[in-house]
């Protein structure tokens, strides 16, 4: 009688026990070092979303858009601006030695160029 009951349950297939296997398993881990303050902020955001921290972090990484800090064009503008600041320091030193009136035209030209570059950088932000 027992044999008949077993045969009915399995229908010729072997019974698998335990939890069913997932189609996609997460077998790779990623370690991120964060400060305790960052951990608290992330835990709070995950709690507010009703998610576990790992699920929140995974979802955030999927939907986040990353912008580069500075484009090549902006970097070039900053390099130029840095060179101009160096020139301004040199002109200031010359003004202390030879008098301000003698380098007034150079200072005006440099100031106009700085203003032009600052306007150009401001337009790139939009």
* Domain assignment present for 107: yes
Q: Which domain holds residue 93?
A: 72-124
Q: Is 6 helix (H, G, I), strand (E, B) or coil?
A: helix
Same domain, 61 and 104: no
Distance CA 82, CA 2 (A): 89
pLDDT of res. 124 = 61
| Residue 21 forms part of a structural domain | no
The reported pTM is 0.42
d(CA 98, CA 100): 7
The verdict on residue 76 lying in a domain is yes
Sign of the four-CA dihedral 37, 43, 45, 48: negative
The tokens 């699920």 sit on which residue? 55
Same domain membership, residue 96 and residue 52: no
Both 62 and 78 in one domain: the answer is no
User: Is the pLDDT score of 50 beyond 90?
Assistant: yes
Q: How much is the pLDDT for 42?
A: 93
- Examine residue 92 and state whether it is found in any structural domain, yes or no: yes
What integer pLDDT is reported at residue 47 of this predicted model? Answer: 95
Contact, 51 vs 74, CB < 8 A?
no
Residue with structure tokens 């399995």?
A: 10
* Alpha-helix residue ranges (DSSP H) falling in the chain: 2-10, 36-49, 53-63, 72-98, 104-124
């Amino acid at each position: 009688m027992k044999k008949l009951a077993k045969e009915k349950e399995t229908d010729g297939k072997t019974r698998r026990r335990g939890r069913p296997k997932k189609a996609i398993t997460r077998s790779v881990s990623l370690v991120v070092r964060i400060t305790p303050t960052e951990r608290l902020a992330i835990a709070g955001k995950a709690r507010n979303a009703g998610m576990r921290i790992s699920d929140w972090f995974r979802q955030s990484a999927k939907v986040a858009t990353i912008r580069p800090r500075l484009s090549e064009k902006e970097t070039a503008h900053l390099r130029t601006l840095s060179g101009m600041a160096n020139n301004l320091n040199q002109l200031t030193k010359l003004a202390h030695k030879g008098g301000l009136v003698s380098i007034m035209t150079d200072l005006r030209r440099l100031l106009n160029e700085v203003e032009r570059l600052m306007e150009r950088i401001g337009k790139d932000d939009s």
